[in-house]
Structure 1
């Protein structure tokens, strides 16, 4: 049976406009005029027999039909792009990974050599940053993010749960002469980045009142990778995810004074657009990474 397809030029213009919710930005991406994009979309609407956008004075909004077609069209174009790239480069080429600094520094950089030894034809390029990668605009193949679950429009794999607890250099307790017998004793300690929201969550979980920290005092380290450096230097107590610091604990550079681990619905996630799931270089990296995190901790009740 012959396929019933719309004009692909019209579908391409519509998909870009639906993704950006802007005819102007779609035109800039495709190297067309705004009038040409508008014309192509009207051609597609005539073929479909229903409006795909509600056009306002300053913005456009997708109709129900437009949302459905936009989602399917984006997935189809992603799949075509991934298939083309796979045929063109096979399992070789450059794999660009956007990764949050904590995961990049404390896990991926220490293990990536094994993937590269197994797949020497794939050149891995890491982009370590705290910003969320825009797969539509940036040359990024796959991302590892921290925090709450990424956008549902992406394929996501949970690697681990970001539970957290205080950690410090063993010498700090002796230097201050303040024994740590119970969680409230930490209120007398210098806390690295005391306005990190994890501190309030952990103290509340421990049943300890912490007055005076309801307002942000502006002291920010920016991430637990930097907090951990300060903690191992003995400058104070960091609020950290112990998974990343097992080697530091074993070597005596950090100590976890309490077994109390605050559960979190945050985590670390591998994510990529659905249309790339079968690209050989992404499939190989995904399978390798997930083999190291086969059973992520369940979310707290």
Structure 2
């Protein structure tokens, strides 16, 4: 009887259903979308939020025309609730003996093919009990909706609710095949590049690089546009002689060493976005995440060379 009354008391003290609804509404910024995700009507969602507001004694959302916003109290509560549910998910995964079984990594196609694929063997050699599943996407994933343990993404390191560790700088410069360069007698000046076809001239990196090279007024808008969707694909096109690509040279050491790609100018530029290791703050102590974090630390001298705030 005592245990039953204690359980009922805890249930009243901790309205889990209402908290689950609050987490979804806060994350999606919509009663309707939260209801769709949870399989509840909008009326039921509103009822659970009112229950929680009555429980805490404060309004958690500001109702505005066509939208809602978290109130000050809601802003304080939301990250704690999200972390709490993440901890519960992790605890359940541990009980199923899967938490440290498979490491799911999301990365851009370029980082996956040009760095991860070449180094993951070392990680698995030192962590034989952890299987690795590598998913590639150009999208910034939502960890609450996409099965993933961690991600390598490009940005400034300031993603709310995520722990971010600097991995490496993302700088860029024009690169092309030497055979293509010879078709115009070589590339000696930045404007010589305009004699050749550009791979994705709409990429903002081109404008940044030409400005740094002293040619801010160069016209690229009239050039034929080809978008391949990932830097690794653009590099492959450049190796094949299909045009000039703007690339991160450190990703292509073999192509440079073999003479399949050349970097005609020493000038490299940055746009403020670099590569970061990210994962939910609440999962920072998961064994497989700790193992991968330490692997990057041992593999990359640049790891954590910049803090997220300094990188913004």
Return the alpha-carbon distance in structure 2 between the equivalents of residues 113 and 300 of structure 1: 30
Would you say how many aligned residue pairs link Structure 1 and Structure 2? 299
Q: Kindly provide the CA deviation profile for residues 5-61 of structure 1, in whole angstroms up to 9, marking residues without a partner as x.
A: 532222222222211222233233334443333222222211211111123464332
8 Å Cα contact 1:169/1:255 also seen in 2 = yes
Determine the structure 2 residue equivalent to 1:24. 32
**Which of 237, 260, 268 lines up with 1:261 in the alignment?**
268
5 Å-filtered alignment, 1:1-301, equals 5-56=13-64, 58-89=66-97, 92-149=100-157, 151-174=159-182, 176-214=183-221, 218-295=225-302
1:208-238 Cα distance to aligned partner (Å, 9 max, x none):
2553324685432222111100111122221
Q: Is the 8 A contact 2:157 2:311 kept in 1?
A: no
Worse-matched range after superposition: 246-255 or 88-97? 88-97
Change (3 A) 1:91 1:17: closer
Structure 2 Cα separation of the partners of residues 70 and 263 of structure 1:
35
Distance 2:144 2:99 in 1: 22
CA distance in 2, matches of 1:124, 1:290: 18
CA contact (8 A) 1:86 1:280 kept: no
| Structure 1 unaligned blocks of 5 or more | none
Is the contact made by 1:91 and 1:121 (CA closer than 8 Å) also made in structure 2? no
Deviates further, 119-128 or 19-28: 19-28
Two-structure CA RMSD over aligned residues (Å)? 2.6
Give me the whole-angstrom Cα distance separating, in 1, the residues matched to 2:213 and 2:301. 30
Verify the 8 A CA contact 1:160 1:267 in the aligned structure 2: yes
User: 3-state DSSP class of the match of 2:214?
Assistant: coil
Which residue of structure 1 lines up, in the alignment, with residue 5 of structure 2?
Answer: none
Judge conservation of contact 2:156–2:311 (CA < 8 Å) in 1: no
Q: Give distance in 1, aligned partners of 2:258 and 2:159.
A: 38
Q: TM-score, normalised by structure 2?
A: 0.86
Residues 193, 282 of structure 1: CA spacing in aligned structure 2 closer, same or farther, 3 A cutoff? same
Q: After the TM superposition, which of the residue ranges 86-95 and 72-81 deviates more from structure 2?
A: 86-95
In the TM superposition, what is the alpha-carbon distance from 1:69 to its structure 2 partner?
0.5
Contact 2:235–2:247 (CA under 8 A) maintained in structure 1: yes
Once the 2 structures are TM-superposed, how far is the Cα of residue 130 of structure 1 from its aligned partner?
0.9
Show structure 2 runs of 5+ residues with no match.
Answer: 1-9
